Structure 1
């Protein structure tokens, strides 16, 4: 894949192209304006001579006045040193020709039917002229009219000036484009200095310095959002590193206890010969520790799968009331032993993975039973709201949870009791699994604890848009 052009080169090219277009348009306008100016001056001079000659010829009565006519036409050219005049009658005979270039070819090319004025450029003897041709009809019948009047003036000096002017103009335009491009490159490089400074700061940040921030007030206004976004990213990374560090510590702590118990029991068993019943008792005790570690590993695997692959594949219609009744039967013995009642209110149906949803509801039930005092009641409430969400509420009486602990209840291995003493009540992953399952189903879970009651509430959409049913036929899954 081809690497994109650098921002500096892109902006420099943009400056150069923009300057080239603007200067080229201005240069063309200036060049055209200068040409029109010289053409207007030449035409104005020729029109002055043409008007005077026209008036003169209109008063010409008889051929005997030719000498006097030539004298008057010579007088007209006084003060117009570069102009030439040529007059021809209707028979093609030359009435007057001033010294200078032969203009008969122009008169012949114009023709006898010329009406009004024709101004054009003509080449005569390798010289360029601007010619004005006019047909004079208002003459006496005896004057052998009408006459074709040709006035010409050389414009080579103007053409040479315009050519030199164009060369200078386009050279200046090219120089200005180059200078603007160079200055644009310098300006872009200077304007990128804050970006280079940010990059230098980022390079100095290590895993131990994730609390470093880029002060938004120290960067240009256009980079403020970049600095804020970068700071937010660092905060997320810092929190993730802390969670990872805490997770490693928690896993080590949770695994150390069962492993220590296994080693101690094994050392005691090997210290002397024992009976079969004693060995069997030790093996049963070890089995409990193995089961605890297996549960921890299974829970960590489930969390890893739901975190990395949140899309739910086994989607079906799940009747939450039926799942709650099945869980009541499973926990009935434990709840009865503790003198705790289980109640269910309402009905709700959602689309999702039935086993995952049952596990999430089961974890909330076991957590509620564990923290409900003797004689209390754990209530499960199901409700379908008009907004298209299903609500699952699990609440139990008991000691209030301090507000500072509520946001952390769903963290892995988090316990309110900082002494980390275990009483055989799980490994501290139950609520983390609940949140992971709910999030994977596109839902949200909240917790509140007040007035002697702790309340977990899950909001699930009936059919989340992010969930897609597998393409293969369900019948083929068996």
Structure 2
């Protein structure tokens, strides 16, 4: 048996495939929900870190506005940048003495946008910076400034990528385990069906009296076994009728065949007259007509068992058809000392020959 045939007919493989589809759907749903939740959390981490760092610097930035104090702020920004290479600071304003971070044209254009948290992409870096843009109002000698603190999101993107690979790997592993375990569970679950199949294989002609045991079966299999037993009952009855029919046919055919053979053998033992041969042929013709009648009856019963229906229907009187049949059987009825009385009548569409044969 080829793999294609097994795959198309094996219930265990079908159940295993269903297990795979269910496991795949479950893993996809759970993995997608988990990835979205972690992605949302990872997106909030840089925002929370930027807001925390800005809150530490905000009071200092808004307190002093002289060049001397601004120099101290610059030194502090340099120290913070050296401590954490992910963090970058930019200060953009109309006075170059108060700017910081060597802002490029892209950074200056970005600073003119709305305040708040936004993403900044630089040409020399593959990952965007998460940037918090704030407005520093004019204070003393200091003009209005745009203060920006940004954090490199490379580590967060890498964490997301690693998480995605982990989820895909776990999903693949889970699907493989589900397929193996599903096939194993299906094989175990189908053991009663295999046992029932072996039990059914032992039921074959002429042993048609056995039946499948339904007491210890699951409800689904018990229903199937009951239906199978009912089918066996019908087969057993049909088989019994067939045996009886064959015996009756053999008995009915034996008599005319015996007469034909006996009469023919006697006629051939020695020379006979033409009149005697005519009588033998006449007797043989009667026996052959009897054989034809028996064969026609056999064909009629066979077609009736197969559910064939009459097609050449004509309106006729049932009383007349019964009377015609009784005339044909008059000698048999008289020999059996049986009298028949017909009462009533009905006109129905029938096939006369088939009805007479049935009667």
TM range (shorter): 0.7 to 0.9
Is the 8 Å Cα contact of residues 98 and 142 (structure 2) preserved in structure 1?
no
Aligned-pair distance for 1:129?
5.9
Query: Is residue 110 from structure 1 mapped to residue 110 from structure 2 by the alignment?
Result: yes
Aligned-pair distance for 1:182?
0.8
Correspondences of 1:386-405 after superposition (within 5 Å) = none
Aligned to 2:179: 181
Q: What is the TM-score normalised by the length of structure 1?
A: 0.60
Q: What is the TM-score normalised by the length of structure 2?
A: 0.77
Rounded Cα–Cα distance in structure 2 between residues aligned with 1:76 and 1:238: 99
Correspondences of 1:139-150 after superposition (within 5 Å) = 139-140=138-139, 143-145=142-144, 147-150=145-148
Query: Is residue 35 from structure 1 mapped to residue 18 from structure 2 by the alignment?
Result: no
Higher-RCO chain (CA-CA 8 Å, sequence separation at least 6): 2
Is the 8 Å Cα contact of residues 70 and 96 (structure 1) preserved in structure 2?
no
SS, match of residue 108 in structure 2: helix
Tell me: CA distance 1:103–1:125, structure 2 relative to 1, closer, same or farther (3 Å). Answer: farther
Aligned-pair distance for 1:184?
0.8
Moved more, 39-48 or 256-265: 256-265
Correspondences of 1:49-448 after superposition (within 5 Å) = 49-60=53-64, 62=65, 65-71=66-72, 81-82=83-84, 83-89=87-93, 91=94, 93=96, 95=98, 97=100, 104=104, 107-112=107-112, 114-120=113-119, 122-123=121-122, 126=125, 128=127, 130-136=129-135, 138-140=137-139, 143-145=142-144, 147-260=145-258, 289-308=287-306, 310-316=308-314, 318-319=315-316, 321=317, 323-325=318-320, 327-328=322-323, 331=326, 334=330, 342-345=341-344, 347-350=346-349, 352-357=350-355, 359=356, 433-434=358-359
Residues 18-56 of structure 1 show CA distances to partners (whole Å, capped at 9, x for unaligned) of 222321232232223223222212201212333454454
Is the 8 Å Cα contact of residues 133 and 148 (structure 1) preserved in structure 2?
no
Is the 8 Å Cα contact of residues 107 and 150 (structure 1) preserved in structure 2?
no
Rounded Cα–Cα distance in structure 1 between residues aligned with 2:251 and 2:327: 32
CA RMSD of aligned residues (A): 4.0
Tell me: CA distance 1:164–1:105, structure 2 relative to 1, closer, same or farther (3 Å). Answer: farther
Rounded Cα–Cα distance in structure 2 between residues aligned with 1:165 and 1:230: 54
Rounded Cα–Cα distance in structure 2 between residues aligned with 1:300 and 1:26: 70
Aligned-pair distance for 1:331?
4.6
Tell me: CA distance 1:292–1:138, structure 2 relative to 1, closer, same or farther (3 Å). Answer: same
SS, match of residue 229 in structure 1: helix
Aligned-pair distance for 1:259?
4.2
Residues 259-302 of structure 1 show CA distances to partners (whole Å, capped at 9, x for unaligned) of 44556667788899999998887776666544433322221222
Count how many residue pairs are aligned between Structure 1 and Structure 2: 347
Gaps of at least 5 residues in structure 2 are none
Aligned-pair distance for 1:127?
7.2
Aligned-pair distance for 1:314?
1.8
Rounded Cα–Cα distance in structure 2 between residues aligned with 1:247 and 1:5: 39
Which is richer in strand?
Answer: 1
Aligned to 1:365: none
Query: Is residue 26 from structure 1 mapped to residue 27 from structure 2 by the alignment?
Result: no
Moved more, 121-130 or 328-337: 328-337
Rounded Cα–Cα distance in structure 2 between residues aligned with 1:330 and 1:23: 79
Residues 187-234 of structure 1 show CA distances to partners (whole Å, capped at 9, x for unaligned) of 112222222222322333331222221112233322222211221222
Is the 8 Å Cα contact of residues 85 and 96 (structure 1) preserved in structure 2?
no
Aligned to 1:455: none
Is the 8 Å Cα contact of residues 211 and 229 (structure 2) preserved in structure 1?
yes
Tell me: CA distance 1:232–1:74, structure 2 relative to 1, closer, same or farther (3 Å). Answer: farther
